[in-house]
Amino acid sequence: MDDKTKYVLRLADNALILGQRLGEWCGHGPVLEQDIALTNIALDLIGQSRMLYQYAAECKGDGSTEDDLAMKRDVFDFYNVLLVEQPNGDWGHTLVRQFYYDTYNYYLYEFLCNSKDVRIAEIARKSFKEISYHAQFSAEWIIRLGDGTDESHERVQRSINDLWTYTGEMMTPDELDRKMEAEGVGPNLDDIATKWKRKVNEILDIATLKRPEESFMQTGGKVGEHGEHLGFVLAELQFMQRAYPGMSW
């Protein structure tokens, strides 16, 4: 698989797996409005993943389809960051995961709108309005929960601390990230990290929450090394295609 195809798959896998996780909230949200909001965000992400999988399939040029790439790869063939596959937990935990990822994704796609890869740039521009809304939505909820009741503050602070270890992977460049940066396809992740930290600190301050101390960061997702959680996500996501290969409606 060439470098660009793998890079596009990273983008697609992040969107698909997070969309699948958010879809688990359908019918379980705290109130109807927020239940629908998270479902809509899940649909946005899955729609974005479809565009990226279509492009990845074209790059592969082996007859693969978007469905093949989403439904027929195993755990170690997925390149999403570990953060997006983490379990939902409670409402606040889900929103912390979303806040960390949305903030990163906003600055990532802000760059990708001007990527030298024309197709990536087109997909990014088409997705950016949705991604901007996602970032606003999750940031507002962090403020609401952090500056809310004693219980909401305590619980969301716990999630801020627990999920922090998964944030570094998003902005730690590996060889593929550096190649894409050199070709003008992807961003300088150090620049993204600077913007991410500034925004996260700003929102946490408003929310009266404390930023965790720097600590060990979990890595591996971007090269296909995952924990136990992704297997369960894929077992549900891919069930029909696995049970009835090649099925059609």
Question: What is the per-residue pLDDT across 196-228, written as a single tens digit (0 to 9) for each?
Answer: 999 999 999 999 999 999 889 999 999 999 999
CATH number 1.20.1260.10 is the correct assignment for the domain at 3-243: yes
State mean pLDDT over 164-176: 97
- Rounded Cα distance, 98 and 13, in Å: 15
Summary mean pLDDT of the chain: 96
pLDDT band at residue 241 under the 50/70/90 scheme: confident
- Region of 215 on the Ramachandran plot (φ > 0 left; ψ -120 to 50 alpha; else beta): beta
Q: Which of 111, 114, 117, 97 is nearest to 52 (CA)?
A: 117
Query: pLDDT, tens digit, for every residue of 75-125?
Result: 999 999 999 999 999 999 999 999 999 999 999 999 999 999 999 999 999
- Rounded Cα distance, 75 and 229, in Å: 10
Global pTM value: 0.96
> Is 171 within 8 Å of 200 (Cβ atoms)?
no
179: part of which helix (H) or strand (E)? helix 175-182
- Rounded Cα distance, 211 and 143, in Å: 13
Burial of 155 (0-12, 13-18, 19+ CB in 10 A): buried
Burial of 148 (0-12, 13-18, 19+ CB in 10 A): middle
User: Above pLDDT 90, what percent of the chain?
Assistant: 88
> Is 10 within 8 Å of 80 (Cβ atoms)?
yes
